[in-house]
């Protein structure tokens, strides 16, 4: 195997240096924004106030001292006014009373034909009242006033409804802002103004300077547009439903919340109490919030009003320089894989594509780098003359880390941290390097033609089926929102690893990819007669290498945490691999290849 030219190593070293400079900008933003807010729903707070027999403002003030930062207030509708007696039927029409009268009249008059008598609080509806029961009438001033008095951040929740026009979109948000709301969270299943008027909502939120809270793991109408258009004032939010909260233990609940903050840059946590049955709901909720605040502080959070992430400010020329310096490594790798004139042409083309880092198409260059570096690591490993398994293991792992660093340093910016933009081709970067290395390994044993004409052995057939099944599981579990359910046993094991280490390493690295790679390298070095098994293990080991790259492709995860996850996974996986080798060495005692019979 041809050794790697010096100029490839030189440019790759420069690329790593440029990546570290780029990631410094991002890391500075991540560590400089540690404020995290705990939020509760207004309905939950009112229930606590009612059951405790205390004024709402006193309940809010008490819970704020225990860690509550914000309150989510949904807009009222006509049915709420009727239920509270603020909109009451009479002989001549419907009478509006209290603070709700002016705003309710305004909303209702915009969507229905209303006759006004000499009494300004009397409405005569010309449509059945049931047709306007769900018509929103804005935030309740009593609720916003209590929240302001308690010093809580007010998050307004609005949605769309039939007949809404541009004027109503703007007026609704403006009224909420006047009542003290400083952030907006989608109410129901779609954003206010969705779909045709969502751009008006976005412009109004910009003009008012209100934060937009984007919930993760849910699909809401208009969220993608608002998140993209308002990325400079967007804050990621993690929420938990009451039914979920009741099923989690206190430790599991805190673990879920702290992971959302620590690993996914969520700065607002919308929580619900873990139990509805309590002799003293105010006391128990306060203790529950206090414990969550302490848990967040233990992982570096500062409980207080959150703020959006600022733009890292990585210079565009630096990102282009990363692609330029990575181009020789990519070009050489492609040329070595394909060989001949085709390899030269493809290598030059792939190197040229790395220059896309100077353009808005940098995601293509990042994908090429993520795919090429694990293969480059295998080529370097195969060219090493002296077989040193642990050195080889560390070498290929470090080169895979470089591939991930190129992606993370290229796709740097607030839009990537908020998942407005994401890494292109996650599954492609996970599987293509494995297939390429598999083809290269197969070529060392005579190529596909030889295997096609070789009689099938049951052992090889079963092993192939198991391998395909493993790849299928890897495919459906790749990505952040994979559909593969995690078993309760695996969930408990993950919690154990989270408690044991600073961050939980990835399971497929620790218990599959890295041990297989170490064992395969040991067999290749010390058991040449088992080189077939060594080859299979090396291919399996590439699962861990592509996972290393993929870890750094999670651009919404703090880069320091991703590097810690990789380091812990490489250490544990390497130890397990060495233990497996010591076991195999004892169970299968074969003479070492460097010993010669006298």
Whether residue 484 has pLDDT greater than 50: no
Lowest mean per-residue pLDDT among 161-165, 370-374, 381-385: 161-165
| Dihedral of the alpha carbons of 199, 215, 39, 248, in degrees to the nearest 10 | 160
H-state helical runs in 53-165:
56-66, 78-83, 100-111, 141-150
pLDDT given at position 518: 95
424 — pLDDT class (breaks 50, 70, 90):
confident
pLDDT in tens, 238-271: 998 877 887 888 888 898 999 999 999 999 999 9
SS (H, E, C) 407-444: HHHHCCCHHHHCCCCCCCCHHHHHHHHHHHHHHHHHHH
pLDDT in tens, 202-240: 999 999 999 999 999 888 999 999 999 999 999 999 998
pLDDT in tens, 438-458: 889 877 765 555 555 555 455
Q: Decide: helix, strand or coil at residue 275.
A: coil
- Considering only residues 221 and 275, tell me which one the structure prediction assigns the higher pLDDT: 221
| CA-closest candidate to residue 117, choices 92, 91, 152 | 92
* pTM metric for this prediction: 0.86
The C-alpha atoms of residue 99 and residue 142 are separated, in whole angstroms, by 8
pLDDT given at position 548: 96
pLDDT given at position 278: 76
pLDDT given at position 146: 96
395 — pLDDT class (breaks 50, 70, 90):
very high
| CA-closest candidate to residue 467, choices 488, 485, 441, 447 | 441
What average pLDDT does this structure show over 282-291? 92
Lowest mean per-residue pLDDT among 150-159, 448-457, 478-487: 478-487
Whether residue 91 has pLDDT greater than 50: yes
280 — pLDDT class (breaks 50, 70, 90):
confident
Whether residue 576 has pLDDT greater than 90: yes
The C-alpha atoms of residue 27 and residue 440 are separated, in whole angstroms, by 38
* Averaged pLDDT score across all residues of the chain: 85
| CA-closest candidate to residue 330, choices 11, 18, 19 | 11
Q: In b/e form, how buried is each residue of 245-267, taking b as 16+ CB within 10 angstroms?
A: beeeeeeebbbbbbbbbbbbbbb
């Amino acid at each position: 195997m041809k050794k790697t030219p010096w100029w490839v190593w030189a440019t790759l070293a420069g690329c790593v240096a440029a990546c570290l400079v780029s990631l410094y900008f991002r890391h500075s933003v991540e560590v400089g924004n540690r404020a995290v807010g705990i939020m509760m729903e207004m309905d939950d707070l009112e229930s606590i106030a009612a059951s405790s027999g205390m004024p709402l403002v006193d309940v809010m003030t008490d819970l704020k001292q225990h860690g509550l930062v914000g309150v989510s207030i949904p807009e009222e509708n006509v049915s709420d006014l009727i239920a509270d007696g603020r909109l009451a039927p009479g002989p001549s029409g419907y009478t509006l009373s209290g603070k709700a009268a002016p705003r309710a009249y305004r909303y209702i008059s915009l969507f229905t034909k209303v006759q006004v008598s000499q009494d300004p609080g009397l409405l005569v509806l010309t449509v059945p009242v049931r047709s306007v029961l769900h018509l929103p009438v804005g935030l309740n001033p009593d609720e916003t006033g209590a929240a302001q008095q308690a010093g809580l951040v007010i998050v307004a929740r609005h949605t769309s409804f039939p007949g809404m026009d541009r004027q109503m979109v703007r007026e609704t948000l403006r009224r909420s802002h006047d009542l003290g709301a400083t952030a907006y969270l989608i109410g129901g299943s779609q954003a206010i103004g969705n779909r045709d008027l969502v751009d008006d909502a976005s412009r109004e939120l910009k003009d008012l300077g209100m934060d937009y809270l984007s919930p993760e793991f849910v699909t809401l109408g208009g969220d993608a547009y608002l998140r993209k258009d308002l990325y400079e004032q967007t804050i990621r939010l993690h929420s938990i439903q009451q039914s979920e909260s009741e099923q989690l233990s206190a430790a599991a609940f805190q673990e879920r919340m702290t992971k959302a903050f620590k690993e996914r840059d969520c700065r607002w946590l919308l929580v619900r109490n873990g139990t509805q049955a309590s002799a003293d709901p105010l006391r128990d909720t306060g203790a529950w919030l206090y414990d969550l605040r302490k848990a967040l502080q233990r992982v570096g959070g500062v409980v207080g009003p959150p703020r959006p992430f600022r733009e890292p400010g990585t210079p565009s020329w630096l990102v282009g320089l990363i692609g330029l310096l990575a181009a020789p490594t990519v070009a050489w790798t492609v040329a070595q894989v394909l060989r001949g004139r085709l390899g030269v042409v493809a290598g030059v083309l792939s190197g040229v594509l790395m220059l896309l880092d100077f353009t808005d198409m940098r995601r293509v260059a990042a994908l090429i780098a993520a795919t090429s570096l694990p293969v480059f690591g295998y080529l370097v490993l195969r060219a090493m003359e002296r077989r040193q398994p642990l050195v080889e293991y560390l070498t290929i792992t470090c080169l895979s880390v470089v591939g991930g660093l190129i992606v993370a340093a290229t796709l740097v910016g607030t839009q990537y941290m908020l998942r407005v933009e994401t890494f292109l081709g996650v599954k492609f970067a996970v599987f293509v390097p494995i297939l390429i290395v598999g083809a290269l390994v197969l070529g060392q044993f005579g190529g596909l033609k030889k295997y096609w004409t070789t009689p099938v052995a049951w052992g090889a057939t079963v092993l192939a089926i198991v391998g395909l099944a493993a790849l299928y599981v890897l495919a459906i579990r790749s990505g952040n929102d994979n559909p593969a359910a995690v078993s309760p046993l695996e969930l408990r094991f993950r919690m154990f690893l989270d408690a044991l280490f600073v961050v939980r390493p990835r399971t497929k690295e620790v218990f599959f990819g890295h041990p297989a790679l170490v064992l395969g390298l040991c067999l290749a070095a010390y058991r040449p007669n088992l080189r077939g098994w060594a080859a299979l293990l090396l291919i399996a080991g590439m699962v861990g290498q592509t996972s290393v790259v993929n870890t750094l492709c999670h651009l919404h995860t703090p880069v320091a945490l991703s590097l810690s996850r990789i380091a812990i996974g490489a250490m544990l996986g390497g130890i397990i691999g060495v233990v497996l080798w010591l076991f195999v060495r004892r169970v299968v005692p074969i003479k070492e290849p460097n010993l010669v019979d006298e």
